[in-house]
């Protein structure tokens, strides 16, 4: 079984996650929020929320991605993974500017995860 496309999608997702972690680190320096503090100015809090929300989402996403790859298709799973990564970037960039405008990125991310779960179920039923 070939799963290289899903592996690439996983790398993309993990790079997006690392980017959100880096942004928290940069926000700590910019806003002088020393660890372990998790409270500070709005710019820091936005960066922190993006990273925490991405942590919450990746827990659902990664198992769904790999189950879909194994049970349905490497390419379909990778497509869902690419959509997820783009959705997280859209979410993050919107949230950094205005948290009220994060909905599109969140919906893209959730649609990708749900699509992967549906793909997994289809694979199980075949």
Each residue's pLDDT tens digit, 75-116: 999 999 999 999 999 999 999 999 999 999 999 999 999 999
Supply 74's token pair.
Answer: 């490497």
Answer yes or no: is pLDDT of 1 > 90. Answer: no
The domain at 4-125 falls in which architecture?
A: Up-down Bundle (1.20)
Of 87, 71, 86, the C-alpha closest to 3 is 71
pTM beyond 0.75, yes or no? yes
Cis peptide before 89 (omega within 30 of 0): no
Query: pLDDT at position 39, please?
Result: 96
35-83 per-position pLDDT tens digit: 999 999 999 999 999 999 999 999 999 999 999 999 999 999 999 999 9
Domain chopping of the chain, boundaries:
4-125
Q: What is the Cα–Cα distance from 104 to 68, expressed in whole angstroms?
A: 24
């Amino acid at each position: 079984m070939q799963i290289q496309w899903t592996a690439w999608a996983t790398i993309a997702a993990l790079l997006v996650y690392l980017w959100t972690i880096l942004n928290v680190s940069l926000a700590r320096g910019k806003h002088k929020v020393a660890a372990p503090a998790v409270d500070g100015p709005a710019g820091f809090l936005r960066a922190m929320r993006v990273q925490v929300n991405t942590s919450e989402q990746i827990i659902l996403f990664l198992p769904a991605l790999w189950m879909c790859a194994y049970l349905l298709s490497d390419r379909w799973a990778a497509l869902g993974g690419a959509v997820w990564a783009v959705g997280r970037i859209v979410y993050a960039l919107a949230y950094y500017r205005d948290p009220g405008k994060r909905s599109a990125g969140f919906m893209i991310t959730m649609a990708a995860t749900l699509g992967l779960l549906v793909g997994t179920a289809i694979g199980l039923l075949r």
